[in-house]
Amino acid sequence: MAAAALLARIEEAGLVYWDDSEIRITDSTVDIEEQTRSLAGQFETLRTQDGRRLDALARYASSSECRASFLCEYFGEEVGKACGLCDVCRGRPSRPDSFFAPIDLPSKPKRRGRKSRRGRKASASGSGQRRKRQPRRKKKPQA
């Protein structure tokens, strides 16, 4: 899978032609070596940038600082006061030391007493009997 992605990138750079049955070199050998070195440099730069992004993501997840302040700082904006809305500001629940350790389940809400009646609600008169439906009146046709 990674080889296919790399080959696709090399094809985008115009170094090779690739279809399901063959790979053909499109330029001279000297040009390909130079362009391949250039691509290798681009891949190394992308790899370094991806590493930095992953490190920033790990810092974000483990930070005890306000999430909004952290993001403002990350994007180079002025850091204001704590937002009061994020999980850090509201006091997040304690996390387990290990990824595989279970998180404490929230306490179940207390159940209220059972209803004394089941089924349909009693009528407004309180007698508990159902009222008969009145037949619908037919509308007169308008002339």
Distant-in-sequence, close-in-space partners of 85: CB < 8 Å, separation ≥ 6: 68
Q: Name residue 18's beta-bridge partners.
A: 23
Element (H, E) at 16: strand 16-18
Render pLDDT for 58-69 as a digit per residue (tens, 0 to 9). 999 888 899 999
- Residue 120 above 60 pLDDT? no
Give residue 10's pLDDT. 76
Tens of pLDDT, residue by residue over 90-109, are 887 666 667 676 666 666 66
- Residues 6 or more apart whose CB falls under 8 angstroms from that of 35 comprise 13, 14, 15, 27
Q: Where are the domains of the chain?
A: 2-62, 66-94
The predicted model scores a pTM of 0.44
**Which residue, 90, 53, 49, 89, is CA-closest to 69?**
89
- For residue 15, which of 45, 41, 30, 46 has the smallest C-alpha distance? 30
